[in-house]
Structure 1
Amino acid sequence: MPTLVEIVGRLGGRVVGDGATVVSQVGSLESAQAGEIAFLASAKYRKALATTGASAVVLPPAAESASELPRIIVDQPYLYFARLAQLLNPTLKPEAGIHPSAVVESVIPPSVSVGPLAYVGPRCEIGEHVVIGPGCVVEAGSKIGDHSLLYGNVSLYHETVIGQRCIIHSGAVIGGDGFGYARERSGAWVKIPQIGRAVLGDDVEVGANTTIDRGALDDTVIGNGVKLDNMVQIAHNVKLGEHTAMAGCSGVAGSTVVGARVMVGGQAGINGHIEVASDTVVSSRTLISKTVKEPGIYTSAMPAMPHDEWMKSAAHFRHLDALVTRLRELEKRIAELERKP
């Protein structure tokens, strides 16, 4: 268990008070107990400093005198808390080796762990210290970079590429066929073979039951540092820029290019064959239907209201254009009347 001085030696910051204070876990100001360290990232939680049971706290410079507890002073307490939580809670990984029930048809390093009932196909390239959890399927020709972790029942279709230090959660399917069909005059559909790949950069995290389709011709590309929540859908030929983050149940349709550092809220949707500028924020349940050239916050979702109110509002929506026209005419007439003596 590290002391505050040891933590600052690893993560930076400045200690105020007893630097020999030992902490074993992180916690919130409201629920932290002795031996834990909490943090203050917003002034609205400042009152909780007076009653917290934590042994130490992480504070911004403006709140340095707000507590007498041993404390670490940093400019970004929430970011520091994230790194401290990683330090105190390292990912538990199984021992290296291939479980007797696994089937491995490629040569893999001795440092790799392959869990029960997992399958690794031929011609795969598996990096050092990779973990392939129970029930995973890694099909022929796939690549997984050093220190990446696949939790149980992840499926990588053929020729999928996973970068270094990636985390893929259970049930994710990467490299499955995109939704590509041509239509006969009769209305029947003809499948278009999806011959591109799904390529993930380094430090990507993919949530449970998220799907990333392979490209139809070119690759689907997920940039370095991208974070995808659970049940996110990325269609074929999509390009996601570095450090973009998407919340649960959101999706991007085919052949769309999303810039770097974009944030997409839950249940939001982005249309196909468009572009979204870097540093754009898409609010929850928002539909982006055309290219976004300028970064900003974009919102289209309608807040919930009682059903009867919604029905009345919906009836008025159809007449908005006519109402606006009438309003402008009335404003013009009023202005004319005001100019008369």
Structure 2
Amino acid sequence: MPNAYRLQELADLLDAEISGDPDYLITGLGTLETGRSGQLSFLANNNYLKYLSATQAGAVLLKAELAQQCPTHCLLVDNPYVAFARVSQLFDPMANVTAGIHDSAVIHPTAQISDDVTIDAGVVIDAGVVLAKGCVIGANTVIGRDCQLGEGCHLHPNVTLYHGVTLGQQVRIHSSAVIGGDGFGFANENGNWIKIAQLGGVIIGDHVEIGANTNIDRGALDDTVIGNQVIIDSQVQIAHNVKIGDGTAIAGCVGIAGSSRIGRYCLIGGASNIAGHISICDGVTITMATSVTGNITRKGSYSSGTTAVSTPQWRKNTVRFAQLDQLAKSVRKLEKQAGLKKASE
């Protein structure tokens, strides 16, 4: 990809209107506050409007109604943030890779490897693996037996795919993620834990992104399934047999227990936890640090965490929380007494 783009080229890509010189060259991206000549910035949040009039960026992505306030070239779009996301891909250095297989890679002779893949140093690929065209496999990644990767998948260094994992097209997995490890399945016999062999697999749809140090466990019998266009942040734990619908977004440090079902286009805030064997319908938002212990059958926003207060106030609140049951009983007793008194009057 070239190092510079004319505004007209970017406008054609984004279906944008130009206010300024269509031949102006963009060589990089920057913020409104720190951008400089030759860089393209964007304004998607009015909290940053105060920086627009003084920006030194060479051009700005913004809505048409703000064009008069912009001191430089503009690309006028309906959604500046989406437009910025698309342009950012043009300047991603990781997008420029050279196909080839490093001499130190260990590839089983039964693996099917397309000609235009990139396989870096120290990669291990087991028997029966299929890599479709355009895949990029980072250094020291391990791909287990019978895994299948669709076109354009990108595994960053030190990713581990256990056996029997299937990835759709354009799946990106970041470093130290583990896909297809054993689910936490054990049976207890007189205090002794007996391991349950995890015989299912993991199926991941198209255009999925999985963050660093995230674990997605294989199913016990059926597969763990991640739908299309799902985005999963770093340090997320997804247990065995979980099903996640298309377009759902999961922020960092979320834990999802086994056999739960999460619908399409849900938003799950960071540090939330979801109990096992429950269902969450489509279109649910779960705010940060929420504990979900039962089914959610209606779309909307759900919360359970409390915001931070001073430690002395938190201690008082904790004491009062422990008294809630007794307070509730006292209120019911008073309500009953008031009702009897009213009836006698």
TM-score w.r.t. the length of structure 1 is 0.93
Verify the 8 A CA contact 2:54 2:71 in the aligned structure 1.
Answer: no
Distance 2:94 2:34 in 1: 23
1:239 to 227, 238, 243: 243
SS in 1 for 2:163: coil
Unaligned runs of 5+ in 1: none
Say if 1:331 and 1:6 are closer, same or farther in 2 by CA, change over 3 A.
Answer: farther
Amino acid at match of 2:278: I
- CA offsets, 1:238-297, max 9 Å, x none? 011111111111111100010111111111111110011111111111111111111111
Corresponding residue of 1:314: 318
**Counterpart of 2:103 in 1: which secondary structure?**
coil
Question: What's the counterpart of residue 285 of structure 1?
Answer: 289
1:77 positional shift: 0.9
5 Å-filtered alignment, 1:150-189, equals 150-184=155-189, 186-189=190-193
CA deviations over 1:117-144 (Å, ceiling 9, x no partner): 1111111111001111111111110001
Distance in 1 separating the partners of 2:48 and 2:294: 40
2:101 corresponding residue in structure 1:
98
| In 1: Cα distance, 2:169 partner to 2:306 partner | 40
Alignment match, 2:302: 298
Rounded Cα–Cα distance in structure 2 between residues aligned with 1:73 and 1:95: 35
Which residue of structure 1 aligns with residue 200 of structure 2?
196
Could you tell me which runs of 5 or more consecutive residues in structure 2 were left unpaired when the two chains were aligned. Answer: none
AA paired with 2:158?
N
Counterparts of 1:221-236 in structure 2, within 5 Å, are 221-236=225-240
Match of 2:82 in 1: 79
CA apart distance, 1:155 = 0.6
Give the Cα–Cα distance (whole angstroms) in 2 for the partners of residues 58 and 110 of structure 1. 39
TM-superposed deviation, 1:29: 0.6
- 1:62 aligned residue: 65
Instruction: Spell out the pairing of 1:207-218 with structure 2 (5 A cutoff).
Output: 207-218=211-222
Q: Per the alignment, in what secondary structure is the counterpart of residue 139 of structure 2? A: coil
SS in 2 for 1:71: strand
Is the 2:36–2:57 Cα contact (8 Å) retained in structure 1? yes
Distance 2:37 2:64 in 1: 24
SS in 1 for 2:85: helix
Judge conservation of contact 2:63–2:77 (CA < 8 Å) in 1: yes
Aligned residues with identical type, % of pairs: 39
* Matching of residue 14 in structure 1 with residue 35 in structure 2: no
**8 Å CA contact retained: 1:208, 1:231:** yes
Could you tell me how far apart the structure 2 residues matched to 1:44 and 1:142 are? 46
- Amino acid of the residue matched to residue 141 of structure 2? C
* Deviation of 1:88 (Å): 2.8
| Aligned length, in residue pairs | 336
Which position in structure 2 is the counterpart of 1:139?
Answer: 144
Tell whether the 8 Å contact from 1:17 to 1:70 is kept in structure 2 after alignment: yes
Report the Cα offset of residue 44 of structure 1: 2.1
Which residue in 1 is equivalent to 2:134?
129
CA contact (8 A) 1:93 1:131 kept: no
Amino acid at match of 2:315: M
Q: How does 1:271-282 map to 2 (within 5 A)?
A: 271-282=275-286
* 1:32 corresponds to 2:35: yes
**Secondary structure at 2:95 match in 1:** coil
- 1:260 — aligned with what? 264
Residue type at the aligned position of 1:261: Y
